[in-house]
Amino acid sequence: MSMWQITRARRTVAAASLTAALALTLSACGDDGAGTENRLPSSTRHTADEGGEDRARQPEQPEQPDDSQVIATLQGPQGITMEVTSATRDSSGFVTVNANLKNASDEDFTDTAQWTGPELAMKRAAGDSLGGATLVDKTEKKRYYTLRDTENRPLATTGLGIVAANSDQKVFMQFPAPPKGTSEVDLQIPTFQSASLALTDA
């Protein structure tokens, strides 16, 4: 083979290799673009396009009970009263009673131990409290005691050793909820007169 033929053959092979490499590069670029689009979930694309709008849709906070309105008043000894401001049944199966405990006399009230009830385990765990409160469902003929934690502490206001003279403090008690058909219960606390409460659903 002459030198001219050898040179021409080398040029043909080089041109063919360059063409093949160029075609492979263009094909790879095209596949990457299409592959990225196919791998992107539709939900991801939606979030990218409308993320601002989605973030603006925040769940509404539940309304808190109005503690300024008294729905019932329990009369206690020596100028002590309890003004109930709400009795709310929530979706978790609890009834929460909020109230204002008032001492209208000019003397401190110290006989709060009876409000805890007779259970010694509760007294040892929580001291003086409203753990002795109960709800009475007269329709179903059932009595509901305050809930308590694993250490026998009631889910109610504790630390009530002394109610200062001319004082006013917020207190609460939590009970298992009566059935949905029950709309009214009686709140009973030792040494207080009982009072009927209308239940509201949260």
User: Encoding tokens for residue 139?
Assistant: 């329709």
Answer whether 134's CB lies under 8 Å from 143's CB: yes
Answer whether 112's CB lies under 8 Å from 128's CB: yes
How do the pLDDT tens digits run along the chain, 202 residues long?
Answer: 544 444 444 555 444 454 444 444 444 444 444 443 333 333 333 333 444 444 333 334 344 456 679 999 999 999 999 999 999 999 999 999 999 999 999 999 999 999 999 989 899 998 999 999 999 999 899 999 999 999 999 999 999 999 999 999 999 999 999 999 999 999 999 999 999 999 999 8
For residue 55, what is the enclosing H or E element?
Answer: helix 42-56
Give domain 72-201's CATH number out of 2.60.40.1130, 3.40.50.150, 3.20.10.10, 1.10.540.10.
Answer: 2.60.40.1130
Write down the domain spans for the chain: 3-56, 72-201
Answer whether 176's CB lies under 8 Å from 147's CB: yes
